[in-house]
């Protein structure tokens, strides 16, 4: 049996080879876009709350808000040979919103690439996308919070009612908290509007999320024995651990975000109709990602545009990330805030 010798040590300038690979990577804006989108889609919460997507070519959009799903008159009994009653179809009040271009550049010098290789590129990508996410998500969350005016007090036993005593979610109130009942009471209040709202998401800050998910009463509602086809990986609590910022309980997706304008805060929404993001397509030489990064399954939802530029006079590269967008709330009545859940 022959003795197999270990492979020889690689020859050549490995550092230069790495730099050439990084240079080719940065010269391909499509590859850069994919890296930035992969990071962004993991932590964007705004697009999960405002699930609609509209486009504009003029920098603004006109839309109707709070449009009823019913005609202005009820159906009537029609006698043989008689005319059918006419009913106007009402529309909501018109609103207008202007898009805003949010952008950020970062510089990567030749020296930093030579000394740190791809690590400096990776860190630059993460930081520029984190900044973009924080800005856009903060704008979205401010719009969401400002639009929701309906409230449901924690501890109330009727939709829209007032509790007989405090029932704070941390257990410090007079009565023991029942978090699921508070959520369901809020849901019944918006369902009573008879506009077809079906709440599917609970939006809250990080502290409230941790407080609710760790509640001993609520945790008893999480399935433990029926693991499904994937074993423990199918459990809702495991789903929350995998995503880090969300989990599903009682048919509601709990989303937490650090970008709310004020805390503590918790609201229930029907994200299918609540609102949308409005983006403007800005085709320009060198930019990629206005709607698609070229992937077969890409849906263009993050709408981040990317451009890479070589600046030979300064021996550096400039990476630009931008998004021209604005949030709109179409059905503010599809959201309701839960109040009095903390002291």
User: Tens of pLDDT along 112-149?
Assistant: 878 777 677 777 777 787 788 788 889 999 999 999 99
What b/e string do you get for 108-126 counting C-beta neighbours within 10 Å, with b at 16 or more?
beeebbeeeeeebbeebbe
pTM exceeds 0.75 for this model: yes
Q: Which of 273, 255, 276, 275 is nearest to 265 (CA)?
A: 255
pLDDT at 38: 54
Q: For 161-175, write each residue's pLDDT tens digit.
A: 999 899 999 988 899
Mean pLDDT of 202-224: 81
Looking at per-residue confidence, does 248 or 273 come out higher?
A: 273
Q: Find out whether 43 and 258 touch, Cβ atoms under 8 Å.
A: no
Asked if pLDDT for residue 252 goes beyond 80, the answer is yes
Confidence of residue 297 (pLDDT cuts 50, 70, 90): very low
Q: Which of 1, 296, 252, 288 is nearest to 239 (CA)?
A: 252
Give CA angle at 25 (21, 30), nearest 5°: 160
3-state secondary structure of 328: strand
pLDDT at 33: 61
Question: Average per-residue pLDDT in the chain?
Answer: 79
Q: Which of 332, 195, 180, 323 is nearest to 251 (CA)?
A: 180
3-state secondary structure of 85: coil
Give CA angle at 263 (147, 42), nearest 5°: 80
pLDDT at 32: 62
**Helix (H) and strand (E) counts in the chain:** 9, 13
Asked if pLDDT for residue 226 goes beyond 60, the answer is no
Looking at per-residue confidence, does 293 or 26 come out higher?
A: 26
Q: Which residue has the tokens 């940065």?
A: 26
pLDDT at 109: 87
Asked if pLDDT for residue 271 goes beyond 60, the answer is yes
| Positions of E strands within the chain | 52-56, 60-64, 94-98, 100-109, 151-153, 201-204, 246-249, 252-256, 266-269, 275-280, 305-311, 316-329, 335-339
Asked if pLDDT for residue 227 goes beyond 80, the answer is no
CA 218 – CA 246 distance, rounded (Å): 15
Q: What is the CA radius of gyration of the chain?
A: 26
Give CA angle at 28 (27, 29), nearest 5°: 105
Cβ atoms within 10 A of the Cβ of 72, count? Answer: 10
Asked if pLDDT for residue 55 goes beyond 80, the answer is yes
Mean pLDDT of 35-45: 59
60 CA to centre of own chain: 22
DSSP string, 102-156: EEEEEEEEHHHHHHHTHHHHHHHHHHHHHHHHHHHHHHHHHHHHHH---EEETT-
Asked if pLDDT for residue 8 goes beyond 80, the answer is no
Give CA angle at 256 (48, 250), nearest 5°: 80
Q: Which residue has the tokens 């969300």?
A: 246
């Amino acid at each position: 049996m022959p003795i197999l010798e270990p492979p020889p040590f690689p020859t050549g300038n490995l550092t230069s080879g790495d730099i050439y690979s990084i240079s080719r990577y940065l010269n391909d804006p499509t590859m850069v876009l994919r890296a930035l989108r992969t990071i962004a889609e993991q932590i964007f919460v705004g697009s999960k709350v405002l699930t609609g997507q509209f486009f504009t070519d003029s920098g603004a959009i006109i839309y109707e808000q709070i449009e009823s799903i019913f005609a202005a008159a009820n159906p009537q009994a029609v006698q043989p040979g008689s005319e059918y009653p006419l009913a106007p179809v009402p529309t909501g009040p018109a609103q207008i919103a202007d898009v805003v271009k949010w952008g950020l550049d970062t510089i990567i010098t030749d020296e930093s690439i030579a000394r740190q290789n791809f690590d400096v590129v990776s860190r630059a990508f993460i930081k520029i996308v984190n900044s973009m996410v924080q800005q856009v998500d903060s704008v979205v969350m401010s719009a969401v919070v400002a639009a929701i005016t309906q409230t449901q007090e924690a501890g109330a036993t009727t939709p829209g009612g007032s509790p007989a005593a405090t029932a704070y979610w941390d257990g410090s109130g007079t009565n023991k908290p029942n978090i699921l009942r508070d959520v369901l009471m809020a849901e019944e209040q918006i369902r009573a509007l008879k506009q077809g709202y079906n709440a599917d998401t609970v939006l809250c800050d990080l502290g409230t999320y941790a407080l609710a998910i760790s509640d001993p009463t609520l945790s008893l509602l999480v399935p433990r024995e029926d693991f499904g086809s994937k074993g423990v990986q199918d459990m809702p609590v495991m789903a929350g651990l995998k995503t880090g910022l969300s989990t599903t309980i009682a048919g509601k997706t709990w989303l937490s975000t650090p970008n709310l304008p004020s805390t503590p805060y918790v609201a229930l929404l029907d994200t299918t109709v609540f609102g949308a993001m409005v983006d403007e397509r800005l085709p320009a030489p060198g930019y990629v990602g206005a709607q698609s990064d070229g992937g077969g399954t890409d849906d263009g939802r993050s709408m981040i545009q990317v451009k890479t530029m070589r600046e030979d006079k300064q021996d550096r590269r400039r990476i630009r990330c931008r998004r021209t967008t604005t949030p709109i709330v179409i059905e503010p009545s599809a959201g309701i805030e839960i109040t009095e859940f903390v002291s």
